[in-house]
């Protein structure tokens, strides 16, 4: 969760994010994944790792089945700092 990573929380606040906002549209969620990918998470043992991987996936679960699609892919070493959408 974003609240577990102070650097990510600081980044989201700097970009005007309000995590209590209930909008869950694809564009907004993709922005959140971009922010997560740009800030490493810190494990209790001090190791750092990316919060998000190399792609964003949209998954819908219904009584009829599970449907997924890749929304966006990016290099494993996140290089989109200048490409973030506010």
pLDDT digits (tens, 9 = 90+) for 27-67: 778 888 888 888 888 778 888 877 777 888 888 889 999 99
pLDDT of residue 80: 47
Residue 51's alpha-carbon distances to 35, 65, 69, in angstroms, are 9, 28, 20
Half-sphere exposure of residue 20: CA atoms within 13 angstroms, side-chain side? 0
pLDDT of residue 76: 64
pTM: 0.58
Separation of alpha carbons 80 and 46, rounded Å: 25
Please give the helix or strand (H or E) that residue 41 lies within, else none: strand 40-42
């Amino acid at each position: 969760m974003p609240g577990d990573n102070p650097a990510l929380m600081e980044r989201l606040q700097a970009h005007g994010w309000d995590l209590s906002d209930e909008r869950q549209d694809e564009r907004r969620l993709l922005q959140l994944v971009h922010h997560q990918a740009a800030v490493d998470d810190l494990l209790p043992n001090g190791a750092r790792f990316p919060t998000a991987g190399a792609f964003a996936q949209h998954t819908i679960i219904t009584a009829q089945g599970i449907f997924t699609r890749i929304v966006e892919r990016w290099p494993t070493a996140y290089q989109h700092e200048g490409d973030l959408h506010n």
